Amino acid sequence: MNTVEEKIEVAVPVRTAYNQWTQFKSFPRFMSVVQRVDQVRPAVTVWVIGLGPVRREFQTEIVEQKPDTCLIWRSLERRPSHRGEVWFRPSAAGGTEVTVRIQVEPRRARTPLTGASRAAGRVVRHELGHFKQFIEGLGEEGGGWRGTIRNGRVLPAEPAPPRSRVASWPVG
């Protein structure tokens, strides 16, 4: 597997960056290689990507998702398969550091990828730059999904903590 990792700082709070990232349908608005994303279930998406004359469709499963922290996914195809993760951390400047790490297994397991990792790194860096321009231009997210996914399963919403009751005393 080849690994690509890129980081970028965006000048919006973690919650804003995270919420926008969970709006997969908006990806074609700022990512030049993403043509369409359909969320068929809370943890399964279908992606159509294209670069030049090359077009590819694949499904991914969100394996882990923790609000304001991370999304971890894996492709559901055998080859080429990939795994990825995106992490959101507060930056010293008050914005958000977004880190994307993608591991790709080539079509032929024993074929060396000459320059493919560098090219993939450039694409990820370029697309993160588009995300930065998009979210900073908006200044706020265009929605968000705050659910938690663990091991590919959506966890039920946590109940609100019980409210403390103030004892009422009879007035004498």
Asked whether residue 37 is domain-assigned, the answer is: no
Instruction: For residue range 9-66, list pLDDT tens digits in order.
Output: 999 999 999 999 999 999 999 999 999 999 998 899 999 999 888 899 999 999 999 9
Grade residue 110 by pLDDT with cuts at 50, 70 and 90.
low
Kindly state whether residue 60 falls inside one of the protein's structural domains.
Answer: no
Helices (H) and strands (E) in the chain, counts: 3, 9
Does some domain include residue 103?
yes
Tally of CA atoms within 13 A in the half-sphere of 36 that contains its CB:
8
**pLDDT value, residue 163:** 42
Examine residue 148 and state whether it is found in any structural domain, yes or no: no
So what's the pLDDT on residue 142? Answer: 79
Q: What CATH number is associated with residue 128?
A: 3.30.530.20
The structural domain count of the chain equals 1
What per-residue string of b and e applies to 35-53 under the rule 16 or more CB within 10 Å gives b? bebeeeeebebebebeeee
3-state secondary structure of 139: coil
How high is the mean pLDDT of the chain? 85
In a domain, 44, yes or no: no
102 touches 82 (CB < 8 A): yes
Using alpha carbons, select from 107, 124, 90 the residue that is nearest to residue 16: 90
- What per-residue string of b and e applies to 24-34 under the rule 16 or more CB within 10 Å gives b? bebbeebbebb
Around Cβ 143, how many Cβ atoms within 10 Å? 11
Residue 30 lies in a domain: no
Report if residue 100 sits inside a domain: yes
Contact 114, 97 (CB under 8 A): no
Where in the sequence is the domain holding 8, given as residue range(s)?
Answer: 2-23+65-139
- pTM value is 0.82
4: its two tokens: 């690509």
* Length of the chain measured in residues: 172
Per-residue confidence at 115, pLDDT binned at 50, 70, 90? low
Asked whether residue 87 is assigned to any structural domain, the reply reads yes
